[in-house]
């Protein structure tokens, strides 16, 4: 059974309220941290090996160490709660059921970073959660964990919740900062990076909800003990949002030593695929990461089991691997149409492009249009090569990663499932009434766990 650090108390009734949270040991990590120096906290975070849980997986302690500290200039912590990646909903779970865990993590992080005013930027569609967060903030402030002279330490900290307008692009940290400042949420050119010039041109750290919540157990058990959980550079636990063709969709906390096969088929996690269907493919890190067919999902290019961690999922690079990403684990069974799913993702990225960069603004629309033609049985063979060419010219040619996020799903779908695209072209009369399942493959995809 996986060790739980973040969700260990999630089942306790009333845990979203301060009284119950305190009874379970809440804010003891904050009390401990406030007796440490900011540098000591930073070293614990570095020692833990914690990597950003929002998608990029950049070492959190290293990111914090980049924060500029000019004399007399305020610094800020901004929590990215603009969780808009399709297939990802684990930050919502934390904020809805464990708001004080996030508030405590923000208090410790703000103290470490020297941020007296910190923010939570939350996506507009989470309309009910800001009220939960603001209630938790009020409780923490009344108990002396926020506000002036916290616990007599002389440290002041205020936390504010800002609702977004529902734009996916604001999940990119500089677009988020632009929106927080009251501007249109367009990504900024970098450098300068937010650590030097962020919110209102002040040094700023932007981390996602899970990353900041993880600071609490790191301080509680120490960074060294946290680093013992997991494997290699994939330390600690990771929240996974599991959905798609599985028996038990939900949010799971794993320690990144389990295999993908165990995660999908174990009763402790996803509980297998409904109706005895076979596994066809999976998108393991949210809609922007490459889709992987079952044979490569369950085995690496070396024939070893693929594990639920950063290194194993990326084994072999994007040609055969994928990414942990935001932890949005989407399972597709044998009846799912890859072309249709890819078209749906392309439509999303076309809609959410801010339009600032020509390759993304125009290319995402072109990809959606071509995929729609192929899916309807109106495509040509050359359309598949045109799709490949368009995604190649988008990737790496935009200010922010949204262009890459749009290109990678298309590239991976063509790379691994080109037969399916060709079938849609060759069988226009069938593609609207019949899915291209595993049975259509001349050489069916081998699946180790298809019992």
Return d(Cα 441, Cα 231) in angstroms, integer.
36
Specify the CATH number of the domain 18-228. Answer: 3.40.50.11540
pLDDT tens profile 199-226 = 999 999 999 999 999 999 999 999 999 9
N-term to C-term CA, the chain: 23
Rg, Å, the chain Cα set: 23
Specify the CATH number of the domain 231-333. Answer: 3.10.20.600
Note whether 18-228 and 338-440 share their fold: no
pLDDT tens profile 346-358 = 999 999 999 999 9
Report residue 306 CA to chain centroid gap: 19
Average the pLDDT over 383-398 and give the result.
96
The confidence score (pLDDT) of residue 444 equals 40
Average the pLDDT over 322-340 and give the result.
93
Preceding omega of 412 cis (within 30 degrees of 0):
no
| H-type alpha helices, 249-401 | 260-265, 294-298, 310-313, 338-352, 358-375, 381-394
The confidence score (pLDDT) of residue 239 equals 96
Return d(Cα 307, Cα 261) in angstroms, integer.
8
Tell me what the pLDDT averaged over the chain comes to: 92
Q: What is the pTM of this model?
A: 0.93
The confidence score (pLDDT) of residue 56 equals 79
Let me know if domain 338-440 sits in CATH 1.20.1440.230.
yes
What residues contact residue 148 under an 8 Å CB cut-off, 6+ apart? Answer: 156
Pairing between strand 279-283 and 292-293?
A: antiparallel
The burial of 63, by beta-carbon neighbours within 10 Å (0-12 exposed, 13-18 middle, 19 or more buried), is given as: buried
CA torsion angle 423 290 83 55 (round to 10): 180
The domain segmentation of the chain, as residue ranges, is 18-228, 231-333, 338-440
The confidence score (pLDDT) of residue 35 equals 96
Answer whether residue 116 shows pLDDT above 80. yes
The confidence score (pLDDT) of residue 3 equals 80
Average the pLDDT over 107-123 and give the result.
97
Return the percentage of the chain with pLDDT > 70, whole number. 95
């Amino acid at each position: 059974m996986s060790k739980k650090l973040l969700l260990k108390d999630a089942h306790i009734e009333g845990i979203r309220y301060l009284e119950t949270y305190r009874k379970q040991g809440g804010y003891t990590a904050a009390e401990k941290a406030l007796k440490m120096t900011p540098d000591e906290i930073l070293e614990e975070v570095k020692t833990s090996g914690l990597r950003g849980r929002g998608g990029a997986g950049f070492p959190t302690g290293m990111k914090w160490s980049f924060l500029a500290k000019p004399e007399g200039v305020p610094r800020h912590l901004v929590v990215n709660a603009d969780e808009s990646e399709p297939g990802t909903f684990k930050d919502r779970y934390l904020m809805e059921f464990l708001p004080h865990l996030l508030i405590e993590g923000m208090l410790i992080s703000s103290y470490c970073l020297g941020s007296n005013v910190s923010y939570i930027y939350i996506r507009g569609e989470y309309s009910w959660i800001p009220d939960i967060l603001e209630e938790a903030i009020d409780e923490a402030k009344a108990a002396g964990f926020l506000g002036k002279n916290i616990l007599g330490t002389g440290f002041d900290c205020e936390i504010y919740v800002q609702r977004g307008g529902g734009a996916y692009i604001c999940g990119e940290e500089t677009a988020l900062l632009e929106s927080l400042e009251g501007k249109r949420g367009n990504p900024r050119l970098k450098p300068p990076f937010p650590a030097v010039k962020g919110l209102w041109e002040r040094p700023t750290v932007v981390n996602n909800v899970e990353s900041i919540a993880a600071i609490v157990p790191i301080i509680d058990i120490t960074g060294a003990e946290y680093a013992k959980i997991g494997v290699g550079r994939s330390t600690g636990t990771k929240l996974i949002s599991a959905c798609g063709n599985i028996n038990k969709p939900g949010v799971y906390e794993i320690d990144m030593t389990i295999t993908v096969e165990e995660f999908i088929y174990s009763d402790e996690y996803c509980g297998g695929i409904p109706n005895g269907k076979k596994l066809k493919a999976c998108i393991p890190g949210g809609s922007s990461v490459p889709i992987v067919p079952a044979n490569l999902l369950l085995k690496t290019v070396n024939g070893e089991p693929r594990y639920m961690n950063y290194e194993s999922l990326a084994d072999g690079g994007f040609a055969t691997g994928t990414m942990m990403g935001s932890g949005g684990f989407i399972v597709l069974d044998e009846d799912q149409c890859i072309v249709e799913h890819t078209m749906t993702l392309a439509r999303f990225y076309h809609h959410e492009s801010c339009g600032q960069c020509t390759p993304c603004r125009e290319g995402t629309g072109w990809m959606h249009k071509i995929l729609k033609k192929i899916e309807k049985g109106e495509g040509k063979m050359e359309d598949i090569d045109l799709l490949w060419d368009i995604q190649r010219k988008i990737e790496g040619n935009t200010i922010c990663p949204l262009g890459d996020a749009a290109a990678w799903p298309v590239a991976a779908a063509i790379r691994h499932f080109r037969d399916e695209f060709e079938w849609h072209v060759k069988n226009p009369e069938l593609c609207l009434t019949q899915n291209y399942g595993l049975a259509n493959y001349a050489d069916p995809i081998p699946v180790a766990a298809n019992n």
